[in-house]
Amino acid sequence: METALELSGITKRFGSHVAVNNLSLAIPKGSIYGFLGPNGAGKTTTIRMIMSILYPDEGQIQILGHANSEEIKDRLGYLPEEKGLYKKMKTADIVAYFGTLKGLPLREARKRAKELLVQYGLGDWVNRKCEALSKGMGQKVQILSTLIHNPELVILDEPFSGLDPVNVEVMRNLILSMKRDGRTVIFSTHVMEQAEQICDYIFLIHKGNKILDGPLSEIKAGGLHGIQIDYDGDGQVIRDFPGVDRINDAGKSAEVYLKDSANPQDLLQYLCGRLQIRRFDLREPSLHEIFVRAVGGTSDE
């Protein structure tokens, strides 16, 4: 397996605070790789080190076969978490500007900027200023700016934050189409469900330490099973069942983990008459559950 990016034992300290601790990762070419973890876990710091915006205090980064990303900046695409646009610039101009900064000739950058904007439904906005864009459209312009030069490796820091469901869909399709084009995509998120849907590989980080990493399918197939219950009524009833070990209750649906001794059939029988059950489903654990178990925290955070 060819790796696009390899981190070996990188550590980053801000004074006495260790933001990333002895992290090693291998990211296969052509995969969608999710960096997961709660806010402040060290995702952004890791990404900034990959982009050479920060330098690691210890360890090495091998990116597209180079030790220093400065040399191959033009082959990378990066969408930071904190992102903005020049408000007074026209959308086509700003996309083209980022293209030229990545080494595209001006003429080609202009042409591609227009094509991309039209392709992603912003054709009417080509000559409008960025300040006129809605948040979702702005986000689209930003991501097009990161893609205009056809980067081999794309790093997206929290690409879904602040997007409505329609734009989440657009973003997801974009990531999938990048994979189809053979690009490697790394994205970070603190929303586990989003990662579950599209990632080939995930990496879980908590307080600067790696919790686990690997193919999503392997991680999920760890032998643990949960019960997905969709219901109407008072969820407290489920908690009252003596065999319940942990529960992630969202109000209308809950993910329940039983003690080894308990039987799911007993739970179903117990709930009949007490709750209006719409679905009762035995399945693989959610990433949320895996994460919570790995860091040893409480269920409902």
* List of residues contacting another protein (CB under 8 A): 14-17, 48, 51, 53-55, 57, 70, 73-74, 76-80, 82-89, 97-98, 100-102, 106, 142, 145-146
Measured CA to CA, the distance from residue 92 to residue 218 in angstroms comes to 43
Among the listed residues 53, 45, 88, 85, the one whose alpha carbon sits nearest the alpha carbon of residue 209:
45
Among the listed residues 93, 36, 18, the one whose alpha carbon sits nearest the alpha carbon of residue 286:
36
Comparing CB distances to another protein, the nearer of 134 and 269 is: 134
Measured CA to CA, the distance from residue 212 to residue 78 in angstroms comes to 24
Minimum CB separation of residue 101 from another protein in Å reads 4
DSSP 285: P
Minimum CB separation of residue 173 from another protein in Å reads 22
Comparing CB distances to another protein, the nearer of 160 and 231 is: 160
Minimum CB separation of residue 226 from another protein in Å reads 38
Comparing CB distances to another protein, the nearer of 89 and 295 is: 89
Taking the mean position of all CA atoms in its chain, how far away is CA 289?
A: 17
Comparing CB distances to another protein, the nearer of 105 and 242 is: 105
Minimum CB separation of residue 274 from another protein in Å reads 50
CA dihedral 140, 143, 145, 147 (to 10 degrees): -130
Minimum CB separation of residue 276 from another protein in Å reads 47
Minimum CB separation of residue 41 from another protein in Å reads 18
Measured CA to CA, the distance from residue 212 to residue 267 in angstroms comes to 31
Comparing CB distances to another protein, the nearer of 17 and 279 is: 17
Comparing CB distances to another protein, the nearer of 88 and 239 is: 88
Comparing CB distances to another protein, the nearer of 37 and 99 is: 99
Residue 187 zone, left/alpha/beta (φ > 0; ψ -120 to 50; rest): beta
Measured CA to CA, the distance from residue 280 to residue 299 in angstroms comes to 20
Minimum CB separation of residue 216 from another protein in Å reads 27
Strand 201-206 to 3-14 pairing: unpaired
Contact 262, 243 (CB under 8 A): yes
Q: The tokens of 94 are what?
A: 């700003």
